[in-house]
Amino acid sequence: LGRAWLEPHLFRFGASSLLTDIERQLEHGLTGRYAADYRQPMV
């Protein structure tokens, strides 16, 4: 695609993935273990 496609403004921020990770980290902080994948299906 060329160098023009490597501009930062063309990259999307994955908000749903970020939300899922925050939820997993919160659960880990409360329970001491990470949730199973089926509990946060947006991954």
Tens digits of residue pLDDT in 1-43: 788 888 878 777 677 788 888 888 999 999 999 888 788 776 5
| Dmax (CA) of the chain | 46
Give the number of domains in the chain.
Answer: 1
pLDDT at 32: 94
Name the residue range of residue 25's domain: 3-39
Q: What pLDDT was estimated at residue 13?
A: 67
- CA separation for the pair 30, 32 (Å, rounded): 6
23 by DSSP, 3-state: which? helix
Q: What pLDDT does 18 receive?
A: 83
* Predicted model pTM: 0.56
CA distance 35 to 6: 35
Q: Looking at residue 36, what is its pLDDT?
A: 84
8-state DSSP, 1: -
